[in-house]
């Protein structure tokens, strides 16, 4: 892998709309030259109720986040962790839009280059028609531990991303055309 640092990000949230929903769990797995060099995860107190549906989906409930830091408390460290890296996420627009709104709420300007593993898979593996995380994990022989928790999903995405890179090394620079900027 190149000497670039890739920050594989996953969030769990209170809902699907970043305008009203909030982050309740975030993980960043930093990868350089195909190796995990750092793992960061924290629960986040969203300052709003977590629905029973979200709790049953993620295992994260109001009691669990009650004493967790609020986003403002982690925002500077998180921004430092993500700055000058390429952010990778599965269904990236979801995670990026939530992070963008969280940073905006605390008056921090955040911009990044990012890539979505769904789009990457679409370009590199057009015969794989279903591209959800579980299907890709199965296709790439990656085990997902703690599904629907940020660190478990981020680690699985990191392994999938690394395998995509290794299998497609000769054409990797082409994939950087998929980078987007927010």
* Residue range(s) defining the domain that contains residue 92: 5-181
Encode pLDDT of 42-100 as tens digits. 999 999 999 999 999 999 999 999 999 999 999 999 999 999 999 999 999 999 999 99
Q: What single DSSP character describes residue 12? A: E
Distance of CA 142 to the CA centre of its chain: 16
Enumerate residues 6+ apart whose C-beta is below 8 A from 14: 21, 22, 24, 46, 48, 49, 50, 51, 54
Strand 113-116, strand 86-89: pairing: parallel
Q: Stretch 20-24: mean pLDDT, rounded?
A: 97
Predicted confidence (pLDDT) per residue in 105-151, tens digit? 999 999 999 999 999 999 889 999 999 999 999 999 999 998 999 99
What is the longest distance spanned by two Cα atoms in the chain?
49
What is the spatial distance between Cα 26 and Cα 172, in angstroms, rounded to a whole number?
A: 28
Helices first, then strands: H and E counts in the chain = 8, 6
Which CATH number is 83's domain given? 3.30.420.10
The answer to pTM > 0.85 is: yes
H or E stretch including 150? helix 150-167
Domain count, the chain: 1
Which one, of 120, 127, 109, lies nearest residue 178 by Cα?
120
Contact yes or no for 134/143 (Cβ under 8 A): no
> DSSP class of residue 85?
S
R_g over Cα of the chain = 16
């Amino acid at each position: 892998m190149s000497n670039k640092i890739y920050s594989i990000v996953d969030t769990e949230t209170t809902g699907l709309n970043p305008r009203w929903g909030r982050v309740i769990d975030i993980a960043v797995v930093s990868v350089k030259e195909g190796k995990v060099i750092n793992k960061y995860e924290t629960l986040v107190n969203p300052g709003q109720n977590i629905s029973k549906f979200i709790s049953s989906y993620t295992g994260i409930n109001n009691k669990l986040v009650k004493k967790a830091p609020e986003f403002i408390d982690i925002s500077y460290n998180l921004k430092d962790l993500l700055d000058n890296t390429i952010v990778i996420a599965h269904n990236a627009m979801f995670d990026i839009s939530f992070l963008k709104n969280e940073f905006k709420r605390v008056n921090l300007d955040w911009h990044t280059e990012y890539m979505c593993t769904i789009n990457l898979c679409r370009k590199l593996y057009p015969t794989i028609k279903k591209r959800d995380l579980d299907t890709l994990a199965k296709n790439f022989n990656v085990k997902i531990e703690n599904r629907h928790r940020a660190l478990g999903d981020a680690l699985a995405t990191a392994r999938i991303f690394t395998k995509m890179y290794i299998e497609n090394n000769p054409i990797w620079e082409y994939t950087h055309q998929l980078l987007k900027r927010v």
